Structure 1
Amino acid sequence: MNQVIKLVFIFCCAFLSVLQTRAQKSENNGKASPLYQNNPKLDWFRDAKLGLFMHWGPSSVKGTEISWSRQDHPFDHPGEGPFVPNDEYDNLYKSFNPLKFDADEWMKLAKKAGFRYVVFTTKHHDGFSNWHTKLRDYNIANTPFKRDICKELSDAAHKYGLKLGWYYSTRDWSHPDYLVGDNKKYNDFYEGQVRELLTNYGKVDIVWFDHVAGNWGDYTFQQLFDMMYSLQGKTLLVNDRGARFVKGAKDAPPSEELQKLVEGDFDTPEQKIGKFQTDQAWESCMTMTKCVDGGGWSYRPDGKTMPFKEVIQTLVQTVTGDGNLLLNVGPLPTGEFPADQIAILKKIGKWLLKNGESIYGTRGGPIANGEWGGMTFKGNKIYLHILKWPEDGSPLVLPTLDKKIVSSKGLNVKNPVVKQTSKGTEIDLHANKRDEIDSIIVLEINK
């Protein structure tokens, strides 16, 4: 471990002059403060840090992966079985009747658990719509449940002051017009659905697209974005997946302006913690349910729930890397969250009540995170999040800070010893005083 720390120190020192002049997207880009993105529309998002992702639909009735357990995935990779035959999967909605669904309870729990925004799957790749869309019969209105889930969730999110995001898959494996002919019918259909979602549910803060197949000429992306901004304003955030899998144009390549537009406002690493990156906002989307096939987005009784310690350390590694964590829950077919995940969500809320000042409203850095943990900062305070100490019992040595430390204290630990030496910043804490999840130490520095 000491060797790793020395290597990080050498690397950071060598890199400082470069960092002053150009942005680097690297988990080891040292002193990051000159590179922080300045985009006011993203301020609330970068302050929020923690969002709740929810994947839900008729597949929960069978307890198989949402969309990916359907036999056919037109114009996409086949995935891994076992699969549900198309006819069976596409008719699961006829028995989808989540009578215990209570949007108010979901959003109240999200608020209590410390989430600042929520993102819900309005439509996944299977094509089922969780709202009363007028553009296709394959939707919640034609289930035994009938109620508009998106309407109830949007009302509850607004009630509890949570920012609202709509996940919308531009793939649609059950739609008869998806990538058929010139694709105009499907393009008009999906733009029409996005219009409904941004018209009928009040303030929407995020549109979270999830890939689409085809060519640039199959879609009118400029028209789509113009429509979205006209309905919700330029403060609307859009992720980076609006055209991620689109291939070369049939006629002419897209303009640089269009390519930049569809790159969106933030990156979305999936099922992994993103790299230390301060010049572009990012959000890791990760499941609480872990499955051997890499899924676990929707209700999977065969999966295992991520332990609380791992959840917190995942949050810390994400935030110290200057990103957000979008943590996913897959509700039961009854409309309830799994009981073991409810318990963990409540523990997250309690942890954030005590330690939230080191998470919310901070930025990652000023030193890049690593195996040992990472840093966040706000004003003249730096928060050290130490997840792993040197195995030989020696102090943890980090790269030298630019400014003098005027005081130090523990946020959730007592009597840490912090020194600025020729070796760097040394942090020591008696083994029996360390927190088993995350030892948080607050440094006050000269302004």
Structure 2
Amino acid sequence: MIKKFGDKRDWFFEKRFGMFVHWGIYSIPAWHEQIMWRKNISRDKYVKYMDSFNPLRFNPEKWLDLMQEAGMEYLCFTTKHHDGFCMWDTKYTDFNIMNSPYKKDILKMLSDACHKRKIPLVLYYSVVDWHHPNYPNQGRSHELDKPEKGDRPDIPKYMEFLKNQIRELCTNYGKIHGIWWDMNTMGHVDKSVHKMIRKLQPQAIINDRGFDKVKRGPGNGDFCTPEREMPEGMAFNYPTEACQSLGVQSWGYREEEDFFSDKFMMQSIDRILSMGGNYLLNVGPKADGTIQAEFRNSLRKIGRWFNKVKESYYGASPASNLTDNKDILITEKEKSLYIHLYKGPVSSTVKLNPLKKMPRHAVLLNNGLHLEAKVDSACTLWKNIDDTLRIRKIPVNRIQNEPMVIRLDF
């Protein structure tokens, strides 16, 4: 059982599924959010994207409509990615949205829309900065190979800039529910940063990529953040939020993107939530502010499945230790067990050895179908199994495009 915080941050355990949004001027070249670094574009050339960034079709209400249709309950937005471009009206750098042709504070528009619907808003902020002259670029992970001409690497000065911006974000945009750091590549430790956040926004959760410790993991911030590569196991023992993108290659908008299948995404979501974690699923809006059709269609399909099975996550606890069947996961709530067939069953029966208690009902949440439950001996290829609970007549050939979840009521 994951220990809760016991304060206003506990919203994190109640809202389990969130939307991640990577959006910035990198959506103009439409290749990757790290195009400046990956294609070795000079700063002088890259900053010109700001001069043509004019997302006239941006409508935060449409983003939130789609988010809620997908069953998501909170949103994490990239205020500043590695390129250093700021999507809000900041007074600490000219490299921001107010100096683009758009000249509107995108974060203010988004935060106002979230507050109106009572949607928790988490703010992503990259520690690595390819634009700021004081950031010490040294060719480490996700850094420029070396400072650009005119730069003056100075960690104390850069940290003053960072703290000023975080104070700005935590002061000017109403209630903020989290700070999502990325790439503290320089390994700087400064516990005063998190202390300031907690004072200004006591309900804000802080991830494990910040300034409490040199390395990520428990003890750095409030929760762990596995990315892309999903951890194995049956249950998390520490607050965890896994993040994944619908796009295979990029987090930001990519014109020639490859996409994960809807089923793959549902299986990933089911596994992480069944293990007691949260799930943050990313989209990258286009330069005009709209979300492309492929993302919209996937999110709606995911939402139709998620809304049928979500009772198996909310208020439930991981309980996969109850069976030796390693092809499933189990969650438990009150007098019900939920059997998560996240890998996809290979037959119409699932064995729950060593469980022997007969449930009153076995219901497939995906369509409401009542399944057959039996406690009897079963055979495998190699041996007999003593009396064990089996769930039979699972419609494996009718439901193939989404993970099945079975509720057992005792």
2:193 paired residue number: 224
Moved more, 223-232 or 199-208: 223-232
Compared CA separation, residues 95 and 389, structure 1 to 2 (3 A): closer
1:241 pairs with 2:196: no
- TM-score by length of structure 2 reads 0.85
Give the letter aligned to residue 443 of structure 1: L
Looking at structure 2, the residues matched to 286 and 45 of structure 1 have their Cα atoms a distance apart, in angstroms, of 18
Aligned to 2:68: 111
* Residue of structure 2 equivalent to 1:202: 174
Q: Is 1:418 aligned to 2:385, yes or no?
A: no
Q: SS of the residue aligned with 2:191?
A: helix
Corresponding position of 2:329: 374
**Is 1:383 aligned to 2:338, yes or no?**
yes
Number of equivalent positions: 381
Q: Please report the RMSD computed on the Cα atoms of aligned residues, expressed in angstroms.
A: 2.6
* Cα distance in 1 for residues equivalent to 2:62 and 2:91: 28
Distance 2:393 2:272 in 1: 24
Alignment of 1:262-411 (within 5 A): 263-276=220-233, 277-291=235-249, 296-367=250-321, 372-388=327-343, 391=346, 393=347, 395-401=349-355, 405-411=359-365
Tell whether 2:185 aligns with 1:213: yes
Give 1:305 deviation, angstroms.
Answer: 2.2
Deviates more, 1:43-52 or 1:101-110: 43-52
Contact preservation (8 Å) 2:16, 2:278: yes
- 1:51 — aligned with what? 18
Once the two structures are TM-superposed, the CA of residue 399 in structure 1 deviates from its matched residue by 4.2
In structure 2, the CA distance between the partners of 1:432 and 1:190, relative to structure 1 (3 Å rule), is closer
Q: Any conservation in 2 of the 1:406–1:444 contact (CA below 8 Å)?
A: yes
Q: Partners in 1 of 2:357 and 2:13 — Cα distance?
A: 24
**d(CA) in 2 for partners of 1:134, 1:402:** 65
Structure 2 residue 125 is matched with structure 1 residue 157: no
Shift of 1:371: 6.6
Q: Does 1:65 align with 2:29?
A: no
Partner of 2:139: none
Q: 1:120 — aligned with what?
A: 77
User: Is the partner of 1:304 in helix, strand or coil?
Assistant: coil
Aligned to 1:98: 55
* Cα deviations by residue, 1:346-398 (Å, 9 ceiling, x for unpaired): 2222223332222333333343898734222222222112144664x473223
Question: What letter corresponds to residue 24 of structure 2 in structure 1?
Answer: G
> Is the aligned partner of 1:438 residue 2:410?
no
Secondary structure of the residue that 1:70 maps to in structure 2?
helix
Q: Which deviations, in whole Å up to 9, do the C-alpha atoms of 1:175-208 show, x marking residues without a partner?
A: 1001355511101000110001100111111110
Match of 2:392 among 395, 407, 428: 428
- State the partner residue of 1:192: 164
TM-score (structure 1 length as normaliser)? 0.78
C-alpha distance in 1, partners of 2:218/2:404? 40
Partner of 1:178: helix, strand, or coil?
coil
Task: State the alpha-carbon separation in 2 of the partners of residues 48 and 399 from structure 1.
Answer: 32
One-letter amino acid matched to 1:185:
K
CA contact (8 A) 1:97 1:145 kept: yes
| Matched position secondary structure for 1:223 | helix
Partners of 1:141 and 1:87 in 2: CA distance: 19
Gaps of 5+ in 1: 1-34, 72-80, 248-258
State the Cα deviation string for residues 265-307 of structure 1 (Å, max 9, x = none).
111000122333332011111010112xxxx100011212222
The amino acid of 1:242's aligned partner reads G
How far residue 215 of structure 1 moved from its aligned partner, in angstroms, is 4.8
Give the Cα–Cα distance (whole angstroms) in 1 for the partners of residues 238 and 69 of structure 2: 29
Residues of 1 paired with 2:225 and 2:396: CA distance? 38
Q: How far does the alpha carbon of each residue in 1:87-142 deviate from its partner, in whole angstroms, 9 at most, with x for none?
A: 22222111111100011211122122211100000001111100000101000000
Deviation of the 1:43 alpha carbon: 3.8
1:323 CA drift (Å):
1.2
- Label 1:410 to 1:215 Cα distance change in 2 as closer, same or farther (>3 A): closer
Deviates more, 1:173-182 or 1:100-109: 173-182
Q: In 2, are the aligned partners of 1:286 and 1:326 still within 8 Å (CA)? A: yes
Identity %: 35
Is the 1:400–1:420 Cα contact (8 Å) retained in structure 2?
A: no
| Alignment pair present for 1:40 and 2:9 | no
Structure 1: distance between partners of 2:320 and 2:398: 23
Deviations 1:221-249 (A, max 9, x none): 2221221111112x3210111048948xx
Equivalent position SS for 1:224: helix
The 1:394/1:329 distance shift into structure 2, 3 A limit, reads closer
Unaligned runs of 5+ residues in structure 2 are 137-151, 377-385
CA deviations 1:18-75 (Å, max 9, x no partner) are: xxxxxxxxxxxxxxxxx43243345432232210000010010001211x2214xxxx
Shift in alpha-carbon separation, 1:327–1:390, aligned structure 2, 3 A: closer
CA contact (8 A) 1:389 1:396 kept: no
Q: Provide the rounded CA distance (Å) in 2 between the counterparts of 1:182 and 1:52.
A: 35
CA distance in structure 2 between the partners assigned to 1:206 and 1:399 by the alignment: 42
Q: Secondary structure at the match of 2:230?
A: coil
Superposed CA offset, 1:139-177 (max 9, x none)? 000000111111111111112221110001111121100
Between the aligned partners of 2:229 and 2:389, the Cα distance in structure 1 is: 29
Equivalent residue of 2:101, what SS? coil
Q: One-letter code of the match for 2:333?
A: K
**Residue identity matched to 1:224:** V
Looking at structure 2, the residues matched to 433 and 87 of structure 1 have their Cα atoms a distance apart, in angstroms, of 57
